[in-house]
Amino acid sequence: MSLYFTKEHEWVRVDGDVATVGISNHAQEALGDIVFAEVPEAGRNLSKGDDAAVVESVKAASDVYSPVAGEVIEGNSAIADDPSLINRDPEGEGWFFKLKLADTSELAGLMDEAAYRDWVQTL
Amino acid sequence: MAFARAGFEGIGGLDENNDNLAKLPLDGWHRARGGRMVPFAGYEMPVQYEGIMAEHLWTRDNAGLFDVSHMGQLLFHGIDVDKALETLLPGDMLALKDGRLRYSMLLSPDGGIIDDLMATRRGDHFYLVVNGATKQGDIAEFQNRLPRTIAMDHMKEQALLALQGPKAAEALDALVPGVGELSFMQAALFHWDGKPLWISRSGYTGEDGFEISVAGRDVEALADALTADERVKPIGLGARDSLRLEAGLPLYGHDLDRSTTPVMADLTFAIGKRRRVEGGFAGSLRIMAELDNGPAQKRVRLLVDGRQPVREGALVLDGEGNEVGRITSGGHSPSLGRPIAMGYVATPLAEAGTALTLEQRGKLFQAEVAPMPFVPHRYHRKQGAAA
């Protein structure tokens, strides 16, 4: 299993051809108290960079992009029911959606965990 | 993820110029307490410390300390200063007693709201507190439109703190004995540690509380003394916004501007009874006509169904999908755990209980006009005390 990040603060955990996507700890900290999340439905086809989900905190509304292309297998209903889960466990239970990767070569353009954590320090 | 597609009102938004931001007297104090500083009204200001939700709920249950030193504190001296102010403000300034304050508005000649403010009679002069983002424009308006016999001073070196919440009175009275005797919208001069404090029982959260005008050089010691009390925590701009929204109070630049009048804004309580009859204030012809015939649009408070916040800029639609208004403030209510909003609608649709549809980014939301503030006001009013 490998973990990747984007400069838009999404993370992608890859297991075989299934990718789980969420937002980073840095992103949830910047957003503050999250009060709403909307996740994509199973069966939706996403291209890389598509608006895939919505996350709203008390102070701001943001779009979550799909870091890679694929077909949505599952949206995380747990965060739709309890959006604060994203604040509590952003890189674990607070995941947004899983998709079946359309093109694994897209992963090569993403950052690995160490590179992302270093880069976030510079922001 | 794209940060802040629709950001917290005024906080780091596109309308903010991040160059040449001024620093508050408590700048270092905020940073030392973990305050996240953002541009607001030309200053770097703390939007939050531990988190907007926790700070909001703390203020509703305990006491929150807000730094509102960005606001403009103005003094007006001169013969018949009350009469002069009445040409620009619709409130009854002649009847305002010494040590009493009143919510009012600076009006343009066509009755539009240039700013909303608090006016206090203080012996032979008046003390006004105006919004931070609008203070320079207000000063120019006062200079141009008041008679030469009125002298205005901008107290640039003066800081302003607000202590708000059900435990504010106990906490402040422990430090400044006697402040608990003030009733809502009353003010007086007090001393703490030999330092003069002008304290009013007022605020903008819907809670009981105080606003404390203190010299900039003394504000840090006072903020330290206040937060040494375990009932008091520093609270940022984020919670200040959600608290005032729940209390149904309008925010200038969002819910009020030059295109809105006091009648449209549902602020007719601020137009004195005598003044409704006599007129004689900026825009009085239009405002008196609106009082008689009703305004075309009116500010309403809206309870929004579902969980997603509906924010400034969303449209209000009638049953047939016609645009009948717009949302001017909106967000998540921490106390109610649901979205609430404020906006303007065609007057026939402003009745409490009216069902409306809102549209935000192509998505529809159901909403209902709320009869009262979302969270009831808990002001400290004394029996028989003059308002």
Contacts of A36 in chain B (CB under 8 A): 307-309, 332
A35:B47 CB<8 A: no
At what angle are helices B52-61 and B237-246 packed, to 10 degrees? 60
Closest by CA to A81, choosing from A35, A25, A21, is A35
> Closest chain B residue to A65 measured between Cα atoms?
B1
Average pLDDT over residues B19-29: 93
Could you tell me which residues come within 8 angstroms of residue B366 by beta carbon, excluding any fewer than 6 positions away? B304, B305, B306, B355, B356, B357, B358
- Whether the CA torsion A41, A30, B42, B266 is positive or negative: it is positive
Residue A1's pLDDT is 74
- Of B255 and B382, the structure prediction assigns the larger pLDDT to B255
- The pLDDT of residue B13: 39
- Residues B373, B246: contact at Cβ < 8 Å? yes
Rounded to the nearest angstrom, the minimum Cα separation between A114 and chain B is: 19
CB contact under 8 A, A58 and B3: no
pLDDT at B103: 98
Please tell me which of the candidates A9, A35, A59 has its beta carbon nearest to residue B7. Answer: A59
DSSP B182: P
User: Is the CB of residue A5 less than 8 Å from the CB of residue A13?
Assistant: no
Predicted confidence at residue B387, as pLDDT, reads 43
- Cβ neighbours of B20 (radius 10 Å): 6
* B147 in Cβ contact with B195 (< 8 Å): no
* Residue-wise pLDDT tens digits, B46-84: 999 999 999 999 999 999 999 999 999 999 999 999 999
Share above pLDDT 90 across residues of chain A, in percent, rounded to a whole number: 97
**CA of B105: how far to CAs of B20, B117, B131, in Å?**
29, 6, 11
Chain B interface includes A63 (CB < 8 A): yes
Confidence band (pLDDT; 50, 70, 90) for B2? confident
Q: Which of A30, A36, A63 lies closest to B5 in CB terms?
A: A63
Given a contact cutoff of 8 angstroms between Cβ atoms, the answer to whether A62 and B2 are in contact is yes
Report the mean per-residue pLDDT for chain B.
Answer: 94
Rounded distance between C-alpha atoms, residue A11 and residue A4, angstroms: 6
Average the pLDDT over B245-262 and give the result.
Answer: 98
Residues A52 and A63: their CA atoms lie apart, in Å, by 7
| SS3 track for A104-115 | HHHHHHCEEHHH
Determine the longest span between alpha carbons in chain A, in angstroms.
38
Q: Does A64 touch chain B (CB under 8 A)?
A: yes
- What homologous superfamily does CATH list for B296-374? Aminomethyltransferase beta-barrel domains (2.40.30.110)
Per-residue DSSP letter, B313: T
CB contact under 8 Å between A23 and B3, yes or no, is no
**How near does any CA of chain B get to the CA of A92, in Å?**
17
The CATH number of the structural domain formed by A2-121 is 2.40.50.100
Q: Tell whether B48 lies on the interface with A, counting CB pairs under 8 A.
A: yes
Residue carrying structure tokens 């209390």: B247
pLDDT of A119 above 50: yes
B334 touches chain A (CB under 8 A): yes
Chain A / chain B CB contacts < 8 angstroms: 72
Total Cβ atoms within 10 A of residue B151: 12
Q: Which has the higher per-residue pLDDT, B320 or B199?
A: B199
The C-alpha atoms of residue B326 and residue B329 are separated, in whole angstroms, by 9
Q: What share of chain B has pLDDT > 70, as a percent?
A: 94
Instruction: Judge whether A27 is closer than 8 Å to chain B, CB to CB.
Output: yes
- Give burial (CB, 10 Å; 0-12/13-18/19+) of B305: middle
Domain boundaries, chain B: 22-69+157-246, 296-374
- Chain A residues with CB under 8 Å of B3 CB are 27, 30-31, 60, 62
CB spacing of A35 vs B332 below 8 angstroms: yes
Dihedral angle computed from the Cα positions of residues B103, B252, B308 and B58, in that order, rounded to the nearest 10 degrees: -50
Nearest residue in chain A measured CA to CA from B306: A36
Instruction: Please give the ipTM for the structure prediction.
Output: 0.89
pLDDT one-digit tens code per residue, B101-148: 999 999 999 999 999 999 999 999 999 999 999 999 999 999 999 999
From chain A, pick out residues whose CB is under 8 angstroms from the CB of B51: 32-33
Nearest residue to B375 via CA among B248, B251, B238, B214: B248
Question: CA of A44 to nearest chain B CA: how many angstroms apart?
Answer: 19
Q: Give the sign of the dihedral formed by CA B89, CA B90, CA B93, CA B96.
A: negative
CA distance B311 to chain A (A): 9
A31 and chain B: CB distance < 8 Å anywhere? yes
**A56 has a chain B CB within 8 A of its CB:** yes
Chain B residues touching residue A31 (CB < 8 angstroms): 3
B52 touches A: beta carbon within 8 Å: yes
- Report residue B194's pLDDT band, with 50, 70 and 90 as the boundaries: very high
From chain B, pick out residues whose CB is under 8 angstroms from the CB of A56: 308-309, 332
B 211-240 near A (Cβ less than 8 A): 238
What band does B162 get if pLDDT is binned at 50, 70 and 90? very high
Interchain contact B299–A (C-beta under 8 A): no
The pLDDT value recorded for residue B383 is 61
User: pLDDT tier at B332 (50, 70, 90 boundaries)?
Assistant: very high
Q: What is the pLDDT of residue B145?
A: 98
Confidence of residue B319 (pLDDT cuts 50, 70, 90): confident
For B22-69+157-246, CATH number out of 3.30.1360.120, 2.20.25.240, 3.40.225.10, 1.10.1740.10 equals 3.30.1360.120
Tens-place pLDDT, residues A35-50: 999 999 999 999 999 9
Cβ neighbourhood burial of A11 (10 Å; 0-12, 13-18, 19+): buried
Tell me what the mean pLDDT of segment B342-360 comes to: 97
Residue pair B133/B42 in contact by the 8 Å Cβ criterion: yes
In the predicted structure, residue B5 carries a pLDDT above the cut 70? no
Q: Is the Cβ of A65 closer than 8 Å to some Cβ of chain B?
A: yes
Residue B221 belongs to what H/E stretch?
A: helix B219-227
Query: According to the model, what pLDDT value does residue B8 have?
Result: 47
Give residue B9's pLDDT band: very low, low, confident or very high (50, 70, 90): very low
Residues across chain B:
387
B10 pLDDT band, cuts 50/70/90, is very low
Question: pLDDT at residue A33 above 60?
Answer: yes
